[in-house]
Amino acid sequence: MRRLLAAFGLLAGLVGPAAAVDYAGFVEAGLTGFIRPATQAFADTAADLAPAVRSVCAAPSETTRRTFAEVNSATIRALGRIGFLRFGPLAESHRLERLAFLPDPRGIGQRQIRKLVADRDPSALDTAQLAAKSVAVQGLTALQIVAFDDAGAVVLGGDGEEAAFLCGYAAAITDNVGRIGAEVASGWADPAGYSRTLLEPAPDAPVLRSPKDAAEQIFNALVTGLIVVKDQDLLPALGKGVDSARANRIPFSRSGDGVAYLTAEIEGLHDAWLAAGYERDLDAEGAWIPASLAFEFANALKALAGVPAPVRRSMADPATYDRLAYLVLVLNSLRDMMALNLAGSLGMTGGFNALDGD
């Protein structure tokens, strides 16, 4: 990271920003063109989860199980699109961690969930009490363990005491997810909420003191999002080679949604970048950047499109492994192009944080 930061400083000094960069315009465009509609889309989709759980538990059938799996997948994809927004309403009250406890390399969530189920803990069946528990047992990553088996099949709707408990627990989880989704969407929609912090920075504000500060917060979240996909979602799963790969480390792969989640993450970053309209204020020296970014985003999505789902089965194929390894290279290119070239051309600093490595 130190080498990249040094390179960034040199590049920023050589290139410099275009004249009169409209940082406030980037912020408003990002809010109206991506953040608000994407968080509302997540809230709308998440609201469908609890009814789907109750349907499969009340009348288990191939149809109700398929419907639940589809709604679950749609909710995972909607979360993937906004997961990089690690500030504002999604960051407040640990909402992101409560929705998805990631990464979890030591299996903390699975251990805690197994204990809740083994103890038939009644507090896990109450949404309010569940929301006060560990972040590892109350969100979409917990639902993976409760509602799906190792082969990705829906297990809700069985017979017996444990099956009844799992249904009650899944209902509480999905009620909680729906509530959090609504809080995130309303937090961004509220003109007096965090949107005001971004749109009305002030010299005496604790964090964002200028339109440039506000623009950098959104921009740096994009770069961090690329880092998360690479360093947290992909590299631990790839290991040192196909023989040591651990596809189960890819988020949401238990339900067969690993590829869909990765795709949604990259699509969300792409769409947020486009919505902000950074290309408007690039000078002639930076005019090449948007087309190059678009090319690399397309390469990333093409690589994922060639990965058969479920990835827990397909990753043993060297061809699939190679596609995911190639994706890492593309993500590195995207990160550098955004954090070095685009940031330098627009006179923005940062773009790297503690999540990034050397």
Domains and their CATH numbers in the chain: 2-32+210-345 (no CATH), 40-195 (1.20.1420.20)
Produce one character per residue of 263-290: b if its CB has 16 or more CB atoms within 10 Å, e if not.
Answer: bbbbbbbbbbbbbbbbbebbeeebeebb
Q: Please, which residues bridge with residue 154 across strands?
A: 148
CA–CA distance, 213 with 109 (Å, rounded to integer): 36
- 101-109: long-range contacts (C-beta < 8 A, 24 or more apart)? 101/135, 101/136, 101/139, 101/141, 101/142, 102/141, 102/232, 102/233, 102/251, 103/232, 103/233, 103/236, 103/249, 103/251, 104/136, 104/141, 105/236, 105/249, 108/136, 109/136, 109/137, 109/141, 109/142, 109/145
Place of tokens 């408990």: 165
Q: Token digits for 65?
A: 């199980």
- Per-residue pLDDT tens, the chain, 358 aa: give them: 444 444 444 444 444 554 689 999 999 999 999 999 999 999 999 999 999 999 999 999 999 999 999 999 999 999 999 999 999 999 999 999 999 999 999 999 999 999 999 999 999 999 999 999 999 999 999 999 999 999 999 999 999 999 999 999 999 999 999 999 999 999 999 999 999 999 999 999 999 999 999 999 999 999 999 999 999 999 999 999 999 999 999 999 999 999 999 999 999 999 999 999 999 999 899 999 999 999 999 999 999 999 999 999 999 999 999 999 999 999 999 999 999 999 999 999 855 554 544 3
Neighbours of 342 (CB within 10 A): 24
